[in-house]
Amino acid sequence: MLQTKLRLPPLPSVRDLVKLYRLRAIKQLSQNFLLDERITDKFVRAAGNVRDHYVCEVGPGPGSITRSIVKKAPKKLIVVEKDSRFVPSLELLQESCKPYTDMHIEVGDILTYNLEHGLIGAQNVPWHYDTLSPIHLIGNLPFSISTALIIKWLEHISQKSSAWTYGRTPMTLTFQKEVGERMIANNNEKQRCRLSVMCQLWCNVEYKFTIPGTAFVPKPDVDVAVVTLVPLKKPLIDIAFKTVEKVVRAIFNTRQKYCIRGIERLFPEPKQEKLSKTLLLLSEVKPTARPFQLTNEEFVRICYAYKCLCDEHPHLEEYDFRMPKAMLEDYMKKFQSCNP
């Protein structure tokens, strides 16, 4: 019987490997190494029980968090690393954990990596079960891609695709502290933003703990949040992700103004005023509320009202206030012909 925490065969320390292979962090790739074993162990504990489960680690770098994962004896561990300089140090760990963990090293960009393919063989757990899928996404994310990646993964959650084909797959990831605070912010809190709403419509978001910037090499200018996101059994909304994102983005585009100003951006002239007022009437939202004051439930009502108007007015959903002038002129001709 394996112990809860496995003891790895003797290996050079990660610090020694960084020196041996001259693994200098590249600023352009937002690389910051977390080398304190006590913190990496705490990070992996925050992800829950990974024993005999499938784990995908994003951006393992020289492998410090990877070692803490391996000590918990997952059945399969996939590490996705864009920088091939780290492969030799990861291969050392791969060789040492062969008796009890099937470790795969994928050199590539997590933004394009096919998670569903990499996780083939994992047990499929129906979404309506209380039990989560036996899969975990773990990673010390580069700050430069963290928001783009979580939005991409939220879309996969809404579609039950990629890693979420197998069920409600949880994620334990790092973000800049202020980004982590935004993700959990409720209405009326100063950090409330588009990311807050998008995360909370599809996931239960928990801020686990803060890692001081001094724990990283090189030291970033900010502290780091460890956040766990667990997909909800029943999301708060059942509308296409792109539609929801469009609505929420438009409203927060005028964060400090009344929400009607952002809602107006959803509609083309000359029907902008009329449709905006109709949407607010349908959703029962006060036009003088500011975006950060709106609850998740109010955003849901706004999105459903917007969808109803799109169903009623052909081509309305194609409108984007950020369209180039030439595209906007073509769009207006088409819209006016269908909505005289």
CATH code, domain with 274: 1.10.8.100
In terms of domains, do 23 and 104 share one?
yes
Kindly report, residue by residue over 274-323, the tens digit of the pLDDT: 999 999 999 999 999 999 999 999 999 999 999 999 999 988 999 998 88
Give the Cβ contact number of residue 183 at 10 Å: 24
* Structural domain of 313: 241-338
In terms of domains, do 71 and 191 share one?
yes
Residue 288 belongs to a domain: yes
Q: Which of 178-182, 244-248, 315-319 has the lowest mean pLDDT?
A: 315-319
Among 208, 231, 254, the domain-final residue is: 231
Give the Cβ contact number of residue 302 at 10 Å: 26
| Tokens of residue 169, six digits | 């797959």
pLDDT of 15: 63
pLDDT of 247: 97
Residues contacting 337, CB < 8 A, separation 6+: none
In terms of domains, do 130 and 216 share one?
yes
Among 209, 231, 253, the domain-final residue is: 231
In terms of domains, do 251 and 212 share one?
no
SS3 283: helix
Backbone φ and ψ of 265, nearest 5°: -70, -10
Does the pLDDT of residue 22 top 60, yes or no? no
Give the mean pLDDT of 238-255. Answer: 95
pLDDT of 2: 42
Residue from 265, 272, 278, 337 nearest 308 by CA:
278
- Structure-model confidence comparison of residues 270 and 226, the more confident one: 226
Structural domain total, the chain: 2
Residue 1 belongs to a domain: no
